[in-house]
Amino acid sequence: MPLVNIQLRHGTTPAYRRAIADSVHAAMMEVLGIAADDRFEVVNEHAPENLIHDPMFLDVPRSDRSVFLQLFLNRRSGDQKQRLFATIVERLARDPGLAPEDIFIGIVEVDAENWWAFARPTTASAI
């Protein structure tokens, strides 16, 4: 039962935002074995001045199409997290066509017992 926060600037279409959400969820299914229906994502749209980043972090130019992703997940290995990052970036490049330098991802890991959704008060599996 992961929770995904997607933050980006105002001015995109619902289809564009949906493509981001779909690509992130598909990457979590592929790398972490998350179920197709185990999907909880929130898209937050911001005024340009409210989404703040340096336009040249690590000497790489970053555009105003920047997307900040925050993933709340059960604990994973370092290797799984690296593969998740790579797969998210790869899928977002395909759809909706986001440049890697415009993607910022942070993971927050929690215990499997920290989720509740009707009919599954605790998660038996580590997924």
Q: Which stretches of the chain bind its own copies, using CB under 8 A? A: 1, 3, 7, 14, 17-18, 21, 36-46, 49-54, 56-60, 62, 68, 70, 72, 78, 81-82, 85-86, 88-89, 99-111, 113-122
| Least gap, CB of 95 to its own copies (angstroms) | 16
Angle at 94 between CA 17 and CA 107, to 5 degrees: 65
Dist. CA 8–CA 79, nearest whole Å: 27
Supply the minimum distance, in Å, between the C-beta of residue 82 and its own copies: 6
**What 3-state class would DSSP assign to 122?**
coil
Alpha-carbon distance of 92 to 115, in angstroms, equals 27
We find the least distance from the C-beta atom of residue 78 to its own copies, in angstroms, to be 5
The nearer residue to its own copies, 32 or 41, going by C-beta atoms, is 41
DSSP conformational letter for 96:
T
- Provide the 10 A C-beta neighbour count for residue 82: 12
- Residue 91 CB, shortest distance to its own copies, in Å, is 13
Beta bridge partners of 4: 41, 71
Task: Compare residues 122 and 126 and give the one whose CB is closer to its own copies.
Answer: 122
